[in-house]
Amino acid sequence: MDDPLIFLIRVLTKTLGIYIVVLLVRVLLSWFPNLDWGNPLLSTVSSITDPYLNAFRGLIPPLGGLDLSAILAFLALQLVQSLLQNASVSLGGAAY
């Protein structure tokens, strides 16, 4: 059985991976302006991802109609995910 701390770090890493996929879906869906965001599935995706994206939208304003803040948001998530993976390995967990 793994150390509880390593297990927690792995769960957080996997959760961040899932969130990155949901965020990617949100960004791709934003390319279709005619979507009905009142749809329960789309509004759920939006309500999960928009607060995180809004934090980065304040840092990088849209340039020519392009919202580049999502790139910074992805980089931040991947950095945290990488740091957690490295912490898990350095604490004695096997690489995954």
Q: What is the pLDDT of residues 14-69, one digit of tens each?
A: 999 999 999 999 999 988 889 898 999 999 999 999 999 999 988 887 788 778 88
**pLDDT given for residue 68 in this prediction:** 85
**pLDDT given for residue 78 in this prediction:** 95
**SS3 of 93, please?**
coil
**pLDDT given for residue 95 in this prediction:** 57
| Mean pLDDT calculated for residue range 66-94 | 89
CA distances from 10 to 50, 66, 73, 81, 95 (A): 25, 34, 21, 10, 10
pTM: 0.85
